[in-house]
Amino acid sequence: MSSTTLFSPFQSTNLSLSNRIVMAPMTRQFSPNGIPTADVAGYYKRRAEGGTGLIITEGTTVNDKVATMDANIPQFHGEAALAGWKKVVDEVHAAGGKIMPQLWHVGMARVAEKAPFPELPSAGPSGLFKPGKQGAEPMTVAHIEAVIEAFAQAAADAKAIGMDGIEIHGAHGYLIDQFFWEGTNQRTDGWGGSMENRGRFAVEIIKAIRAATAPDFPIVLRYSQWKQQDYTARLAHTPAELEAFLLPLSNAGVDIFHCSQRRYWESEFEGSALNLAGWTKKLTGKPTITVGSVGLNDDFFGAFKGQDSGTRAVDDLLERLDAGEFDLVAVGRALLQDPNWAIKIKENRLDDLQQYSGKALATLS
Ligand SMILES: Cc1cc2nc3c(=O)[nH]c(=O)nc-3n(C[C@H](O)[C@H](O)[C@H](O)COP(=O)(O)O)c2cc1C
């Protein structure tokens, strides 16, 4: 199977990439006190040198005291952290790559006692981490507005230090997804209730980012049906519901949707082979990124317990890409394991591809 399309340039209205391979955002708690070090720059530079077209960084937190759950997760605010990130950008660019930070607020996934500012309660639309698990009071409107502003400021800072765009982390049951999901958003004001109201927090973030950056600054939104709280949860059960969810986000200014699945080959709705990225592209007309077990045969949940995974051929992925189902392909663990994954695929060095070792998580170099 030819990988010509995978290694063809990507060109949209405001972003050009040398190929279709994207490094998926992967948290690594290697930034003491939230400040990315020279090691972080080296880690991303190696993936750029290895032929990855676009790097999306690990989740990096916006300026809200309760945005993070660990002091070693990098932050995206403050002079020292931004200087660290500037070094990352410069090294990736010098290696011929492109890079965007994944802007993150963990919401109710934060365990206060283990996080910075343990005296402060965690934040969520209804103070719920999952249905029935009340951990705090609902966020005040003033706090909601402050977090929207924090996302906008982070995006403005990303632009100022030369990032090629930003990704908003709207997936996996963290703060923005806690607004999207009925299970964690039980508000009765304008921020909860209907699908439109549950989407408003993200819509306002997207608009504020657009206003704080430039009309052509790339905005990627990552979202998922599944939640860490409930793998079977879904935001949309039908294409019509998915359309109602996506169109306000698209109209607010999302340039590219990053559609998180555990396995890219799984179809989203009965009666069609399209996956989540396929449906999202069809419904919005915007470019999309697919993700989930590319090059591997076990999904990533086991990775957090140190589980290994064997390799898997990518022929079916290339067929879908060739057919135009989606535009870009994000690769997580395979790139964690092997910075040269892209080059090896390009050169068809399939015997050189490595199994994913659960131990990779401990070093993440
Ligand atoms: C160690 C690790 C950390 C992750 N951290 C993040 C994160 O910060 N943000 C995010 O959106 N997804 C995160 N993910 C999910 C990945 O971006 C990706 O969607 C998932 O690993 C599936 O891709 P893969 O099967 O190619 O690994 C993480 C995954 C792993 C394995």
Q: In this predicted model, what pLDDT tens digit does every residue of 65-108 receive, in sequence order? A: 999 999 999 999 999 999 999 999 999 999 999 999 999 999 99
pLDDT at 5: 94
Ligand 1 near 24 CB (within 6 A): yes
List the residue whose alpha carbon is closest to atom 15 of ligand 1.
26
pLDDT at 197 over 70: yes
| 302 pLDDT tier (thresholds 50, 70, 90) | confident
pLDDT at 365: 61
pLDDT at 364 over 70: no
Question: Which percentage of the chain shows pLDDT scores above 90?
Answer: 88
CATH number of 10-363: 3.20.20.70
pLDDT at 15 over 80: yes
Q: Is 174 assigned a catalytic role?
A: yes
Ligand 1 near 61 CB (within 6 A): no
Q: For 175-197, what is the mean pLDDT?
A: 98
CA 298 to ligand 1 center in whole angstroms: 13
Query: Domain locations in the chain?
Result: 10-363
Ligand 1 near 97 CB (within 6 A): no
Q: Please report the atom of ligand 1 found closest to the CA of residue 102.
A: 9
| 363 pLDDT tier (thresholds 50, 70, 90) | low
Tell me the average pLDDT of the chain. Answer: 95
The answer to whether residues 127 and 110 touch, using CB atoms and an 8 Å cutoff, is: no
**Dihedral angle sign, alpha carbons of residues 275, 316, 303, 36:** negative
Which pTM value belongs to this model?
0.97
Q: Which residues lie across from 260 on neighbouring strands?
A: 224, 291
Phi-psi region of 193 (alpha: psi -120 to 50; beta: other; left: phi over 0): left
Ligand 1 near 259 CB (within 6 A): no
CA 141 to ligand 1 center in whole angstroms: 31
Q: Which residues contact 202 (CB under 8 A, 6 or more apart)?
A: 168, 170, 176, 179, 180, 221, 249, 252
pLDDT at 162: 98
CA 140 to ligand 1 center in whole angstroms: 30
